[in-house]
């Protein structure tokens, strides 16, 4: 078991009342799974994705990652888990605009204080893997949307995480580029045995999942 | 890639913002440096002018009053000449010049004049108004100059030697004050007989408007012999640094000269101290204003930068950057801005002082290189102080909310 959520609840205050963004959500993800999370807008998909490793604090429930409970650990500990074991891919790519492709990909390694030469070597390898070795010195604004998302994917795997959390990674791309990215994620999942948890609106993208979760009004429902 | 490199890249890639950020701190520091550069020269000038007022400490025999000293009565008490040596051989700081004097009212013909025995070089040094007579031939020492180098520029490396009186007024020579010269119809190279001894008048001193105008100055040893008061003096005039006086110079002198009366010439000392304190207060007020204005400007700049980079902060936190990384990002930026602002502010302020000083204040301003260090330290302090709150708030940002922004 790689990741388990048990009776996860996330409540928000809204106009004096409480709204359940996540309402007793439970699931289990095994190592190497490609999990897709689908559901209508506002169903709690992104909240689930971002809350599992502490980017949003849960109201209640238990999260176990790699055999250890992580919902009650300190912010510092969760930060350390994200740094070493989790890669994120977001809809809007989330690249640092003034860094080159290469520097963006090196950032997770810099946070781990890996030596510069090793950073360079690994980032260059990964950029070659995602087909961007000829764009290393380009700034994000000089790349197409598909290329920017590939940089984001490279950044998410350069530190060899155990799990990738992808929030609508194809949401900003046309169908052709979307398929390209999805194939890429599938390749990473299969070749590197990295677990992927992907939130998507797209039924096509959802088909890539080996495990499918569907959320509606904060609850997991059977399709 | 390191966080430091990230900061440098961000600064370099956003040059226009860098210039805006630097502008506030640079202008603030340059104003301080310019004011300080001009005011230090002004303080030296003021100190020089204050020193022109003459000696500010009098060592009198026990029981003597200042009136005794000025009226120079025949029975006025004296003190041993050895006391000069005591001061010379002590390690007391702040005694810049000494002038032992023996003073008596005597008759010259039918005129009453005050005969004063002096050790001439120190006498002249402690009476800068006489400098115009050209007897000493060296620049005036400024007892209250704010920077010690002004006092060290005479090539006299031994601090005791610097204070030693040197006998250059020859036996049988004398100097006449302007009033007494007029009354006795004396001129340079004329002769005057005092108590049966003939003296050659080597110079008529310029009018000072003080009691000295009514005095004849001769070699102390001659006067002691004439008055049969060998190895005795009426008083020791001291030009003491006014800062040293306020810090206890009088007490130290009293310790080594217990059976004397040591007094300050109050008005001179208080004027010197008040003037110096006023200059310090003006500088301090400017410093406080610039600290706050500079700090707020930098704080505003960093806060704008934090807001602009909310999403970046969210991305870094998402990737596993600790809050300390966010602190490092913004505080390092503040330090770099502080160092650059300090150096540029020093250069700009010094240039302004050097160029504008002669025009606006009529004084020649020279670069004070020590201010470079102070400029950088002050600038970094202002920059860090102004950046603390925005950086604290940046580190507290909720990463999730900032990731949502686009």
What would the pLDDT profile of B170-198 be if each residue is shown by its tens digit? 888 898 999 999 999 999 899 999 998 99
Contacting residues of A for B1, CB less than 8 Å apart:
103, 106-107, 109-110, 116, 119
Backbone torsion region of residue A168, taken as left when φ is above 0, otherwise alpha when ψ lies between -120 and 50, otherwise beta: left
ipTM of this complex > 0.85?
Answer: yes
Question: Are B322 and A55 inside 8 Å of each other by CB?
Answer: no
CB count in 10 Å sphere of residue B205:
24
Say if residue B213 is exposed, middle or buried (CB neighbours under 10 Å; 0-12, 13-18, 19+): middle
CA B179 vs. chain centroid, Å, equals 34
Residue of A nearest to B313 (CA): A96
How many Å apart are CA A85 and CA B28, to the nearest integer? 47
CA–CA min distance B402, chain A (Å): 10
How sure is the predictor about B135, in pLDDT bands with cuts at 50, 70 and 90? very low
Question: Are B325 and A50 inside 8 Å of each other by CB?
Answer: no
Sign of CA dihedral A91, A95, A101, A104: negative
The answer to whether the beta carbons of residues A173 and A146 sit under 8 Å apart is yes
**Counting one residue from A and one from B, how many pairs have CB atoms under 8 Å apart?**
69
Low-confidence ranges of chain A (pLDDT < 50): none
- Lookup result for tokens 């008083």: B235
Question: Are A111 and B406 inside 8 Å of each other by CB?
Answer: no
Question: Are B320 and A106 inside 8 Å of each other by CB?
Answer: no
Which residues 293-312 of chain B have a CB within 8 Å of chain A? 311-312
Question: Is the pLDDT reported for residue B375 higher than 80?
Answer: yes
Q: Which residues contact B231 (CB under 8 A, 6 or more apart)?
A: B80, B81, B82, B224
What are the structural domains, with CATH classification, of chain A?
A: 31-58+73-221 (3.40.50.300)
Give residue B141's pLDDT: 42
Sign of CA dihedral B168, B171, B176, B182: negative
pLDDT, one tens digit per residue, over B30-73 is 888 887 787 777 767 766 666 665 667 888 888 777 777 776 66
Q: For B137, list phi and psi in degrees, rounded to 5.
A: 75, 10
How sure is the predictor about B323, in pLDDT bands with cuts at 50, 70 and 90? very high
pLDDT, one tens digit per residue, over A35-58 is 999 999 888 998 999 999 988 889
Give residue B243's pLDDT: 67
Question: Are A83 and B321 inside 8 Å of each other by CB?
Answer: yes
The answer to whether the beta carbons of residues A44 and A22 sit under 8 Å apart is yes
pLDDT, one tens digit per residue, over A142-162 is 999 889 999 999 999 999 999
Nearest to B322 among A76, A92, A94 (CB): A76
Report the residue of A44, A76, A79, A165 to disrupt the B interface, i.e. the one with the largest count of B CBs within 10 Å.
A79
Question: Is the pLDDT reported for residue B125 higher than 90?
Answer: no
pLDDT above 70 covers a percentage of chain B that reads 78
Average pLDDT over chain B, rounded to an integer: 78
**B5 vs A223, more confident:** B5
Sign of CA dihedral B390, B396, B402, B403: positive
Three-class DSSP category at B397: coil
Question: Are A55 and B320 inside 8 Å of each other by CB?
Answer: no
The answer to whether the beta carbons of residues B140 and B133 sit under 8 Å apart is no
The answer to whether the beta carbons of residues B90 and B255 sit under 8 Å apart is no
Q: Which of A111, A116, A121 is nearest to A86 (CA)?
A: A111
Nearest to B315 among A86, A96, A106 (CB): A96
Angle at B188 (CA atoms; ends B187, B192), nearest 5 degrees: 65
How many Å apart are CA B48 and CA B130, to the nearest integer? 14
How many Å apart are CA B330 and CA B334, to the nearest integer? 6
CA within 13 Å, CB half, B18:
15
Question: Is the pLDDT reported for residue B297 higher than 60?
Answer: yes
- Lookup result for tokens 């950073």: A119
CA–CA min distance B321, chain A (Å): 6
β-pair type (A60-65, A68-69): antiparallel
Question: Are B321 and A79 inside 8 Å of each other by CB?
Answer: yes
**B93 vs B244, more confident:** B93
Give residue A70's pLDDT: 92
**Mean pLDDT of the B144-157 span:** 38
pLDDT, one tens digit per residue, over B347-366 is 999 998 888 878 776 778 88
Question: Is the pLDDT reported for residue B148 higher than 70?
Answer: no
Question: Are B400 and A88 inside 8 Å of each other by CB?
Answer: no
Question: Are A84 and B9 inside 8 Å of each other by CB?
Answer: no
CA–CA min distance B21, chain A (Å): 18
Residue of B nearest to A49 (CA): B400
Q: Which of A220, A177, A182, A217 is nearest to A40 (CA)?
A: A217
Contacting residues of B for A50, CB less than 8 Å apart:
400, 403
Residue of A nearest to B6 (CA): A99
Tell me the C-alpha to C-alpha distance, in Å, between residue A168 and each of A91, A177, A198, B313, B382.
Answer: 5, 13, 7, 21, 44
**Partner A contacted by B14 (CB < 8 A):** yes
């Amino acid at each position: 078991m790689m990741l388990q959520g048990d009776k996860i609840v996330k409540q928000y205050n809204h106009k004096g009342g409480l709204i359940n963004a996540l309402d007793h959500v439970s699931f289990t993800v095994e190592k190497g799974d490609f999990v897709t999370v689908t559901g209508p807008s506002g169903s709690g998909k992104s909240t689930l994705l971002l809350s599992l490793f502490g980017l949003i604090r849960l109201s209640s429930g238990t999260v176990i990652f790699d055999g250890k409970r992580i919902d009650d650990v300190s912010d510092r500990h969760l930060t350390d888990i994200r740094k070493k074991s989790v890669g994120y891919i977001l809809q809007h790519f989330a690249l640092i605009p003034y860094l080159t492709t290469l520097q963006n990909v090196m950032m997770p390694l810099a946070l781990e204080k890996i030596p510069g030469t090793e950073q360079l070597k690994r980032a260059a390898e990964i950029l070659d893997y995602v087909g961007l070795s000829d764009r290393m010195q380009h700034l994000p604004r000089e790349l197409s949307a598909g290329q920017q998302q590939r940089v984001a994917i490279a950044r998410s795997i350069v530190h060899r995480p155990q799990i990738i959390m992808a929030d609508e990674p194809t949401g900003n791309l046309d169908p052709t580029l979307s398929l390209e990215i999805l194939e890429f994620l599938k390749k990473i999942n299969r070749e590197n045995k990295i677990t992927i948890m992907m939130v998507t609106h797209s039924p096509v993208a959802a088909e890539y999942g080996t495990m499918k979760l569907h959320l509606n009004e904060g609850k997991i429902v059977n399709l | 890639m390191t966080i430091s490199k990230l900061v440098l890249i961000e600064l370099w890639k956003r040059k226009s913002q860098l210039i805006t950020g630097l502008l506030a701190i640079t202008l603030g520091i340059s104003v301080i440096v310019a004011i300080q550069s001009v005011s230090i020269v002004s303080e030296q000038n003021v100190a020089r002018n204050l020193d022109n007022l003459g000696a500010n400490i009098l060592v009198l025999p026990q029981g003597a009053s200042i009136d005794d000293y000025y009226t120079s009565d025949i029975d006025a008490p004296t003190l041993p000449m050895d006391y000069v040596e005591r001061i010379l051989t002590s390690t007391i700081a702040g005694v810049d010049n000494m002038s032992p004097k023996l003073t008596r009212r005597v008759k010259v013909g039918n005129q009453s004049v005050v005969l004063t025995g002096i050790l001439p070089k120190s006498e002249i040094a402690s009476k800068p108004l006489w400098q115009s007579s050209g007897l000493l031939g060296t620049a005036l020492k400024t007892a209250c100059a704010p920077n010690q180098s002004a006092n060290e520029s005479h090539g006299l490396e031994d601090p005791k030697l610097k204070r030693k009186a040197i006998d250059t007024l020859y036996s049988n020579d004398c100097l006449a004050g302007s009033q007494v010269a007029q009354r006795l119809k004396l001129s340079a190279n004329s002769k005057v007989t005092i108590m049966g001894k003939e003296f050659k008048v080597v110079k008529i001193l310029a009018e000072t408007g003080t009691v000295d105008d009514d005095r004849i100055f001769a070699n102390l040893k001659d006067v002691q012999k004439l008055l049969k008061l060998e190895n005795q003096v009426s008083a020791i005039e001291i030009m003491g640094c006014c800062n040293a006086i306020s810090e206890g110079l009088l007490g130290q002198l009293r310790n080594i000269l217990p059976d004397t009366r040591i007094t300050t010439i109050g008005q001179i000392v208080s004027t010197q101290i008040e003037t110096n304190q006023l200059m310090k207060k003006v500088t301090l007020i400017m410093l406080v204003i610039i600290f706050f204005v500079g700090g707020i400007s930098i704080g505003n700049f960093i806060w704008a930068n934090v807001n602009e980079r909310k999403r970046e902060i969210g991305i870094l936190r998402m990737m596993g950057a600790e809050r300390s990384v966010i602190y490092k990002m913004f505080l390092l930026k503040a330090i770099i801005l502080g160092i650059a602002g300090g150096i540029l502010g020093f250069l700009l302020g010094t240039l302004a002082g050097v160029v504008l000083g002669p025009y606006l204040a009529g004084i020649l301003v020279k670069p004070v290189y020590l201010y470079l260090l102070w400029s950088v330290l002050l600038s970094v302090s202002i920059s860090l102080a102004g950046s603390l709150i925005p950086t604290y708030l940046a580190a507290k940002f909720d990463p999730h909310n900032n990731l949502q922004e686009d």
